[in-house]
Structures are given as C-alpha cells and as structure tokens.
C-alpha cells in the first residue's frame, strides 16, 4: 500500500504565469523553438502505421514531420520537405505509398528509408564538385525517433536529450519505480477507441488542468463517484507513487462504476483498483487503470488552439472480440469534455487586463508552480534570447 500524508488544506497562495503566456504569438513561437523542437514529442501510435509504406504527417513545433514505416518494418521520421526546391512532400495527413514517396512538383522520388531514389535525368546530374550525386546526401533529412509504450516519439534537436532520462525517467519518477509502467504492457495493448478533440485553448492550460484536482469536485461528478478521494481536491499526481483508490462500491473504471473489461494480467495487487496519472512533458498524459490505459497526445497548433488525440487502449482480445467498451470510454470522454470546456472558458480571458499579472495557485495546485518555473527556464534556455518581451 502506498501511504501519504495529506497536506493541510490551508496555506499561502502562489502566483501563476501572467496572461500573455497563454495568448501571445511571440511566446508560442518561443515555445515551438525551445520546447517542441528540442524535446521528445510523442508523434504517432506505432500500430497506426502497420505495413511498409504507411505514413503519417505530424506538426512538431514549426516543422512538418513524416513518420514512415520502412520496407524492413522499422519506423523512420523525416522532415516533410523535398530536397529539390522545398515543396512539401506529403500534404495528406496520413496514407500508404507503395514503395516510394514522390514529390508531385518535379517528381523527385525517395525510398522509404529517405534516400533519393529517382528524379528526372538523375543519372546525368552531378553535384557542385562535378561528382555523381550522393543519394543519401540529397535524401530526406532524418529526424530522431524512438518507440516506447507502442508510440513513436520524435525529436528535432540535432543532439536529442536522453530519452531514458526525459521520458522514461519522468514516468519512473512519478510512479516511484521503473517496473510499475511495465506491468500494464502498454505497447501490446490495442486501440479500442480514439477520440480527437479540437480544443480552443493554449496547451499549457490543458497541462495545468490535468495536473490538479481542485476542480474535480465542481466539474467531474462521474469521476469523483468512481474516485471519491478526488472530491477532496488532491490530484493523484500530487504524491509520488500514489494512485487514487476506486470507491468501495465501484466495480470498474466506468461511467456508472459498473464492471470494466478484462484486467491487464501484469497489473499487481497494489495497482489493482487504482488510477494513476502521469504527465510527460511536453505533450503526453498517461492514465493507468487495471483494465485499460488512456493515452493523450497534444498537438499545439496556435496560442489558442490545441488538438488532443486520446486513445483508449485495451487488451487485444477485448478489441478483437468487439467487446462493449462504451461505459468504459464514456467515463474519461466526459472527463475530457469537462476539462476542455474549462480550458476553453479560461482561454479568451487570458488577454484581459484582469489577468495581466496572472492569478494564484492554492496549496493543492502548488506543484503547477514548478511547471511554470520549468516553462520560464526553457524559454530562457539555449538561445539566451529569454522570454519574448
């Protein structure tokens, strides 16, 4: 059993970021540069690209990135830019090509490994020094890619940070040990449902909302029925290793507390009947319950707009047999809608003079202060450019 001490409900207020962080283009551009283009960004569910030639286009910071399943079955990522005169190679969101990626403009054609395969008169062309052109050098520019938990994570930085520290380490730190996530076998689960939400809010409002549960009693009636301790306002993420316990009369993590689906076999007695939530910066939320995993990916597209793709992952048998996951999906779908409504209510007023100096964090939200500090540190990092004024 995980034990924890509840902090006293009283205490001091801490300041938040000021309103401009949520609505100014200059801040958003700096975040693209110093957060989304430098960190490991969770791009696609690997199983969405099942066979060679399957691709998906993903916006990462200011760059369009193509994730492609190669002929050898591995996933590769490339900048989605033709090396000839820079046309966007793929404009479709996703698709399948037979053997090659062909630029529609002048027909430069690339292999699934990114190498330049063909171009009109390619055999007669030479590079600037008069040598026959190197097909790798004129190939698509590669982007670092790692697969973990059944997702492909990409990093645009020329020297990516340690995946072990930044991604796996974050999950380990939150759950208290490295094995805890392994028990859920997330990579082997199947997508039972995917819902894409187009949220009219800054990505940081969505992160902050996910991190706290001060709002749970007021906007999540179904969730607090299933997880009674959430009514107290402390998020599961407040304590290392803590998972919120299901209510005594609750059978499963469903909208009405009725029984869920088959329990994931690796889930331990300690993890059973508990909900764990993890934030992996900058764009992932992972929610663990005994019979499924809810995996959110955020795609920030503008200061005031974020696409959230949410996967409900179950044991493959549950999905293949067409078992009814409706009540199971409905619980967190409602939570998502309730949360995103709250974020959308907050977004338009971020530019108000009332919020010019920001707001306050109550004690059960104090850990959001660390997120704010992290944002400021990232924006001040590397370039020395600082927070745009």
**Footprint of ligand FES (CB under 6 A):** 82, 84-87, 103, 105-108
CA nearest neighbour of 49 among 169, 147, 182: 147
Instruction: Extract long-range pairs of 317-326: CB within 8 Å, 24+ residues apart.
Output: 317/262, 318/190, 318/192, 318/261, 318/262, 319/190, 319/191, 319/192, 320/190, 323/261, 325/192, 325/193, 325/261, 325/292
Distances in whole angstroms, Cα of residue 56 to Cα of each of 35, 50, 80, 96, 226: 22, 11, 10, 9, 36
SS3 135: coil
185 forms beta bridges with: none
Shortest separation between residue 287's beta carbon and ligand FES, angstroms: 42
Which stretch, 128-136, 139-147, 339-347, 376-384, contacts Fe ion (CB under 5 A)?
A: 339-347
Shortest separation between residue 62's beta carbon and ligand FES, angstroms: 19
- 304 forms part of the interface with Fe ion (CB under 5 A): no
Judged by beta carbon, residue 100 or residue 356, the one nearer ligand FES is: 100
Shortest separation between residue 338's beta carbon and Fe ion, angstroms: 6
Both tokens of 138, joined, read 């004129």
- 339 forms part of the interface with Fe ion (CB under 5 A): yes
Q: Which does 339 bind (CB under 5 to 8 A by kind): Fe ion, ligand FES, none?
A: Fe ion
Q: Tokens 């090396």 — which residue?
A: 83
Q: Which does 82 bind (CB under 5 to 8 A by kind): ligand FES, Fe ion, none?
A: ligand FES
DSSP letters for 329-362: HHHHHHHHHHHHHHHHHHGGGGGSGGGTT--EE-
Shortest separation between residue 363's beta carbon and ligand FES, angstroms: 56
Shortest separation between residue 83's beta carbon and ligand FES, angstroms: 8
Q: Which does 103 bind (CB under 5 to 8 A by kind): Fe ion, ligand FES, none?
A: ligand FES
Cα–Cα distance measured from residue 217 to residue 8, given in angstroms and rounded to the nearest whole number: 18
Which residues between 80 and 139 bind Fe ion (CB under 5 A)? none
Shortest separation between residue 132's beta carbon and ligand FES, angstroms: 19
Cα–Cα distance measured from residue 205 to residue 186, given in angstroms and rounded to the nearest whole number: 27
Which residue of this chain has its Cβ atom nearest to Fe ion in the complex?
A: 339
CA 109 vs. chain centroid, Å, equals: 31
Judged by beta carbon, residue 82 or residue 156, the one nearer ligand FES is: 82
Q: Which does 108 bind (CB under 5 to 8 A by kind): Fe ion, ligand FES, none?
A: ligand FES
Which stretch, 10-18, 256-264, 318-326, 336-344, contacts Fe ion (CB under 5 A)?
A: 336-344
Contact 220, 277 (CB under 8 A): no
- Strands of the chain, DSSP E: 14-15, 41-45, 54-60, 63-69, 75-79, 94-96, 100-102, 109-111, 116-118, 142-148, 151-155, 190-199, 244-245, 274-280, 284-289, 292-302, 305-314, 360-361
What's the CA angle centered on 238, arms 233 and 239, to 5 degrees? 125
Q: Which does 106 bind (CB under 5 to 8 A by kind): ligand FES, Fe ion, none?
A: ligand FES
Shortest separation between residue 212's beta carbon and Fe ion, angstroms: 8
Contact 337, 211 (CB under 8 A): no
Q: State the DSSP H helix or E strand holding residue 320, giving kind and residue range, or none if neither.
A: helix 316-320
CA nearest neighbour of 104 among 76, 121, 85, 131: 85
Judged by beta carbon, residue 86 or residue 161, the one nearer ligand FES is: 86
Judged by beta carbon, residue 85 or residue 382, the one nearer ligand FES is: 85
Q: Which does 319 bind (CB under 5 to 8 A by kind): Fe ion, ligand FES, none?
A: none
Q: Which does 327 bind (CB under 5 to 8 A by kind): ligand FES, Fe ion, none?
A: none
Total of chain residues touching Fe ion, rule CB under 5 A: 1
Shortest separation between residue 86's beta carbon and ligand FES, angstroms: 6
Q: Which does 345 bind (CB under 5 to 8 A by kind): Fe ion, ligand FES, none?
A: none
Judged by beta carbon, residue 291 or residue 339, the one nearer Fe ion is: 339
Q: Which does 267 bind (CB under 5 to 8 A by kind): ligand FES, Fe ion, none?
A: none
Q: Tokens 């698709």 — which residue?
A: 95
Judged by beta carbon, residue 108 or residue 246, the one nearer Fe ion is: 246
Q: Which residues bind Fe ion (CB under 5 A)?
A: 339
């Amino acid at each position: 059993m995980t034990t924890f001490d509840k902090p006293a409900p009283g205490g001091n207020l801490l300041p938040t970021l000021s309103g401009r962080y949520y609505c100014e283009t200059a801040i958003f551009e700096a975040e693209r540069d110093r957060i989304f283009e430098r960190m490991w960004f969770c791009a696609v569910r690997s199983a969405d690209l099942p066979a060679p030639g399957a691709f998906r286009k993903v916006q990462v910071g200011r760059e369009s990135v193509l994730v492609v399943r190669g002929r050898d079955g591995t996933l590769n990522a490339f900048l989605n830019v033709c090396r000839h005169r820079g046309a966007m190679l793929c404009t479709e969101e996703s698709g399948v090509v037979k053997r090659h990626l062909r630029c529609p403009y002048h027909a430069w054609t690339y292999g699934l490994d990114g190498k330049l395969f063909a171009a009109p008169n390619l055999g007669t062309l030479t590079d600037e020094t008069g040598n026959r052109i190197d097909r790798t050098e004129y190939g698509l520019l590669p982007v670092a890619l790692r697969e973990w938990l059944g997702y492909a994570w990409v990093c645009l930085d020329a020297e990516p940070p340690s995946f072990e520290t930044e991604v796996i380490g974050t999950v380990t730190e939150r759950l208290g040990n490295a094995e805890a996530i392994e028990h859920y076998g997330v990579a082997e689960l199947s997508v039972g449902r995917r819902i894409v939400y187009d949220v009219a809010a800054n990505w940081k409002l969505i992160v902050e909302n996910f991190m706290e549960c001060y709002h749970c009693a007021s906007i999540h009636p179904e969730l607090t029925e299933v997880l009674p301790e959430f009514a107290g306002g402390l998020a599961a993420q407040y304590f290392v290793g803590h998972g919120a316990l299901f209510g005594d009369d609750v059978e499963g993590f469903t909208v009405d507390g009725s029984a869920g689906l088959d329990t994931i076999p690796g889930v331990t007695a300690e993890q059973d009947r508990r909900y764990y939530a993890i934030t992996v910066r900058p764009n992932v939320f992972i929610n663990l319950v005994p019979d499924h995993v809810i995996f959110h990916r955020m795609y920030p597209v503008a200061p005031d707009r974020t696409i959230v793709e949410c996967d409900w992952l179950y044991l493959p048998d549950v999905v293949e047999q067409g078992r009814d996951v409706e009540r199971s999906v409905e619980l967190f779908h409602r939570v998502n809608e309730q949360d995103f409504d709250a974020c959308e209510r907050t977004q338009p007023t971020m530019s108000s003079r009332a919020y010019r100096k920001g707001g306050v964090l109550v004690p059960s939200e104090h850990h959001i202060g660390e997120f704010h500090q992290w944002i400021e540190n990232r924006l001040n990092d590397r370039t020395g450019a600082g927070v745009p004024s």
